[in-house]
Amino acid sequence: MSMPTRRQPHGAALPATAPDAAGTGSDAGTAGVEAGGGNRSDDTASRTDETPAGGLRFPPGFVWGAATSAYQIEGAAKDDGRGESVWDTFSHTPGRTRNGDTGDVAADHYHRYAEDLDLMRDLGLGSYRFSISWPRVQADGTGAPNQRGLDFYRRLVDGLHERGITPMATLFHWDLPQSLQDAGGWESRDVAHRFADYADIVFRALGDRVPVWLTINEPKTVVQNGYLEGHHAPGRQDPAAAYLVAHHLHLAHGLAVAALRATGSGRIGPALNLHPCYPADDSPEAARAARLYDGYENRLYLDPILTGRYPQDVLDDLGPDSRLARGIHDGDLATISTPVDLLAVQYYTPYYLTGDGRTTPRWPTSQAPWQQIYPDGMYDVLTRVTRDYGPVPLTVTENGLPSPDTLGPDGTVDDSGRITFLRDHLAAVHRAVADGVPLESYHVWSLLDNFEWDAGYEQRWGLVYVDYPTQRRVPKRSAHWYRQVIAANGL
Ligand code: IFM
């Protein structure tokens, strides 16, 4: 069995499936952009008619955003009745995170959200993607909601609307209530139903103010980092459990989509990190290996949600007695494939497969050793999704890189590498849109420097520098650059 991981080195060559620009449905794509975009209420306020310096103008109504997640920025780990999550447990376990870093304080966004909202306004953001902390809403993951937790998110979304920024809320960005982990975590089918209850609470509390919902952030990362490699919470190395976990995450997604439909309003979809998987050479063995790896990296997550089937090659590879195969109940795939309104794509790195099924590196990496910098992979991912799954509206909800940014003596942060990275990836995004991909919006990961999971605070992913000892925010050079991109609707 080929088991993908995020930390392996990687390596070279041709797209597994060559993007077919002519076949990506440009009519449907353009319509999707125009119909779905432009959701900033004062859309024209931040725009200029100036021609972007590089000549790459995005379609009218294209929405520019930035993203964060609750545990990575909020801090306030014990405030207002918040319960513990698996990440509190994991980060407080000696040896699990770099320097023993935790999200106890993080960027203190829970207390400084108003200042952060002003930063977003100053950037000209049209969309802000954040996540809701399940243990703030239900300390133990079940039962009556904690109103003080919900009130925080109410204040946040109200503050976004006041500044003309559209909220995009993720229901689950990995902070499972520890009590539910103690009851079996995502290995337990019941947790998917608890998630649907939690989603229903959140929809009823915030549904009138949040037009776009994302269900589960990167289920693959939970599966691979949390259950295969064990360097994320809950720290397991159990391949059999891992793919059952994938199924229950999918089930939770489908139940949440159904719950939103029952409450009435809003659009909803999954947030999937997708990685193009290329053969490292021209051999048929490498092509086969890349195809199977693509099954584990991409189709295992796309297919059940968008086609109602698990990829047969992955099921065959896992075997008929796998816990995944045995865990699929009648009706599950119908629930999982409840139609979604959009698909959120997160792109960071490609993989290159040798004939013996190993990954091998080809491009330079960022400060994160798992991330090869390959902007064309963005184009390949976006066009591939449209080609293989139809013109489902897309949003890019994460794209970015870490760098060892420092505050200079003049009080500025020069992260020119981030500008190069974003410029090159946005050029690939622009090409995909021009070729008919129905992309509505793009979000940089991340708005702020934050707690990068097991890598702690060493990696800085933000457009805005956070001086952790003082919690002072300093927009980096990339933030000033991104502001101009937003204002010009292009680059
Ligand atoms: O920081 C993470 C985020 O939480 C999920 N996607 C990848 C980012 C960078 O590793």
Going from the N-terminus, what domains does the chain have, and what CATH number goes with each? 42-488 (3.20.20.80)
Residue 446 Cα: closest atom of ligand 1: 1
pLDDT at residue 30 in the model: 27
Residue 194 CA to residue 201 CA, distance in Å, equals 11
| Distance between Cα 227 and ligand 1 center (Å) | 17
* DSSP 8-class letter at 19: -
Is residue 436 within 8 Å of 21, Cβ to Cβ?
Answer: yes
Cis peptide before 441 (omega within 30 of 0): no
**CB neighbours of residue 95 within 10 Å:** 5
The DSSP secondary-structure symbol of 51 reads P
Closest to 331 measured CA to CA, from 244, 273, 254, 220: 254
For residue 78, what pLDDT is reported? 98
C-alpha 301 to ligand 1 mean position (Å): 17
Reference 232, options 93, 398, 69; nearest CA is 93
Structure tokens at 93: 């376990």
Q: Catalytic residue at 218?
A: yes
Q: Is 408 helix (H, G, I), strand (E, B) or coil?
A: coil
Nearest to 169 by CA among 113, 130, 201: 130
Atom of ligand 1 nearest to the CA of 174: 4
- Name the closest-CA residue to atom 9, ligand 1: 452
E strand segments, 29-176 = 63-67, 127-131, 166-172
State how far the Cα of 423 lies from the Cα of 76, in Å rounded to an integer: 35
Q: What is the pLDDT along the chain (491 residues), one digit of tens a residue?
A: 444 444 332 222 222 232 222 222 222 222 222 222 333 333 333 444 446 778 999 999 999 999 999 999 999 999 999 999 999 999 999 999 999 999 999 999 999 999 999 999 999 999 999 999 999 999 999 999 999 999 999 999 999 999 999 999 999 999 999 999 999 999 999 999 999 999 999 999 999 999 999 999 999 999 999 999 999 999 999 999 999 999 999 999 999 999 999 997 899 999 999 999 999 999 999 999 999 999 999 999 999 999 999 999 999 999 999 999 999 999 999 999 999 999 999 999 999 999 999 999 999 999 999 999 999 999 999 999 999 999 999 999 999 999 999 999 999 999 999 999 999 999 999 999 999 999 999 999 999 999 999 999 999 999 999 999 999 999 999 999 999 999 999 99
179-203 burial string, b = 16+ CB within 10 Å, else e? bbbebebbbbbebbebbbbbbbbbb
Distance CA 349, CA 382 (A): 13
Predicted model pTM: 0.91
Instruction: Identify the active-site residue in 218, 229, 297, 452.
Output: 218
Ligand 1 centre and the CA of 419: distance in Å?
A: 19
Residues in the chain: 491
Annotation marks residue 398 as catalytic = yes
Q: Which of 129, 218, 372 has the most ligand 1 atoms within 8 A of CB, as the residue to mutate?
A: 218
Ligand 1, pocket residues at CB < 6 Å: 69, 72, 218, 346, 398, 445, 452
Burial class (CB in 10 A: 0-12, 13-18, 19+), 34: middle
For residue 25, report the distance from its CA to the centre of ligand 1, in Å: 31
